[in-house]
A and B are shown apart, each in its own frame.
Chain A
Amino acid sequence: MPRFRLSYLPVTLARLARFALFVMAMLCASRPGSAQDTPLISGGVGFQTSTNGGNTKYQPIIEPLLAAPIGPRVLVESRAAILETWAPRTDGGSGYDHTYFGALTYLQGDVTLTPHVTLVGGSFLIPFGTYNERLSPIWISNFQSGPLISPLGLMSTGTGVGGMLRGSAVSHPKYSIDYAAYFSASSDNEQFNSDRSFGGRADLYLPKPRLELGLSYGRLLQDTHENFYGAHLWWEPKDTGFRLRSEFARGHHAQGYWVEADYRMQAFGGPDSVIGRFEPVFRMQQTFRRDTIVSDGLPLVNTQRADFGLDYNLPHNTRIITSYSRQFSSTGDRNIWETGIVYRFLFPAWKGRSK
């Protein structure tokens, strides 16, 4: 994932300690506006394994999310990723090598300005396409690994440091339009690293056919200025377990698409039956390199990949996520196996009583 960076353990622990202090301070500053506005802790904890081209790794991971309202108009929210990756040693020795990673994914303040405008400030997920903002949490995504084109439009890090205006422009029973527009400054801070850029996204949603169409744009404003364009189409027919999601993105040096179809087998005894908890998933994706300048995180050569997944939705917010992928490219074809289990948690940040 583009926003993940390896760092040394002592430095990381110091940062985590600072983050813990910040969280404590934020919770103390939180002033719930009503009985329902208690700060919450949510997120996912899981264990994942993957074998990519014969290389296996094991990864325990936790992604906590904190949301704390401050008064009736302000919400502070943050998500972090803490994980350890274990892999068999490659130097011929026995045992495992392991690397630790822990960092904030985003830390933002949301201020409600008007019924249709929210101002977001701080470190935020860049609103380009759908994967970064909506599908990247481990408790939401159907596959362990993101689409090949997901780095496009995310300006290297996936996060911006600056401001964003977003909201619902129109919300009507027959259609709705929402938008997000941001500006990010360049930041070398290791925890809040970002490139200077601007961009945004607009979505049109039609409730009757349950169709969503969206367009994204981003422009990198440092070094070689580059434009990124994106489009997505989601279709989720009513009263079925079927979902179709697709996205196209084009950058200065590469472009590509992914199409994902999944079906919750709720027709067989309902979504909570033994069979109804199964969720077969298929994703097709292709990337095309426009030139040989590699600066966007996409494969070095044209690549095709088919992902076949089978997820199982256990009770109590737990999912088993498995997949087999076959990747084709001129540098060599490979098999990718992924298995994992994820538990999603959601609870108040402290104990209290309802008013």
Chain B
Amino acid sequence: MNLKYLLSAVLLVVAAFASSKAAPRIRPVPQAEAQNAQNATKKQAPATQGGTHEDEGQRIFDQNCSRCHTAPDGFSSRISGTVVRHMRVRASLSQHDEQELLRFLNP
């Protein structure tokens, strides 16, 4: 009987996961890929205002999120704000870092 509840919970998770597939998804840039992109940008042209934000967001992501866990494969843009607010508490982000991280996840 206990397994029935566990199975129900798993099915609920899978169903909810499937229902969220339609939303636009964010894929956090892998560290090496982002580093290469940054290096390429620096060689080609001075950093724009947007590029600066991206660098700052990447730095905050690397320093705070990646320190404990790898980035998830991707997630809906509708929860990016909630993810960042959760990380603000868990990783003790300042308000500035929170805003930069949100901008990084929603360029």
Contact = CB atoms under 8 A, between A and B. Distances in A.
Interface of A: 9, 13, 16, 32-41, 43, 45, 60, 62, 64, 67-69, 75, 77, 82, 84, 98, 100, 110, 112, 114-116, 118, 120, 133-135, 139-140, 166-168, 171, 173, 176, 178-180, 203, 205, 207, 210, 212, 234, 236, 239, 266, 270-272, 313, 315-317, 344-349, 351-354
Interface in B23-77: 23-24, 30-32, 35, 59, 63, 67-70, 72-73, 75-77
19 contacts: A35-B81, A36-B77, A36-B106, A38-B76, A38-B79, A39-B82, A41-B16, A60-B6, A77-B86, A82-B5, A139-B69, A171-B96, A171-B97, A179-B92, A239-B32, A239-B35, A313-B70, A345-B17, A349-B16
B19 to A, nearest CB: 5
A349 to B, nearest CB: 8
Given A139-B69, A347-B75, A36 B95 contact: no
Contacts of A115: 94-96
B92 A166 contact: yes
Contact count band on B: 35 or more
A347 B30 contact: no
B79 to A, nearest CB: 4
Contacts of B13: 41, 43, 45, 62, 64, 345
**Which 8 pairs across A and B sit closest by C-beta, in order of nearness?**
A36-B81, A115-B95, A178-B92, A168-B94, A347-B20, A37-B81, A40-B79, A38-B78
Contacts of B67: 212, 234, 236
A16 B5 CA distance: 11
Contacts of A179: 92
Interface string B7-25: 0011001001101101110
Nearest to B35: A239
Interface of B: 2-3, 5-6, 9-10, 13, 16-17, 19-20, 22-24, 30-32, 35, 59, 63, 67-70, 72-73, 75-86, 88-97, 102, 106
Given A45-B10, A236-B67, A36 B78 contact: yes
A286 to B, nearest CB: 24
A236 B22 CA distance: 36
A250 B3 CA distance: 40
A206 B63 CA distance: 9
B57 to A, nearest CB: 13
B89 A118 contact: yes
Contacts of A316: 73
Contact of B95 (A116, A272, A349): A116
Given A75-B85, A271-B32, A347-B75, 13 more contacts: A41-B16, A62-B10, A67-B82, A68-B82, A82-B9, A118-B89, A133-B90, A139-B69, A168-B93, A171-B93, A176-B63, A346-B72, A346-B75
A108 B20 CA distance: 26
A135 B79 CA distance: 23
A318 B79 CA distance: 21
A84 B9 CA distance: 13
Nearest to B66: A236
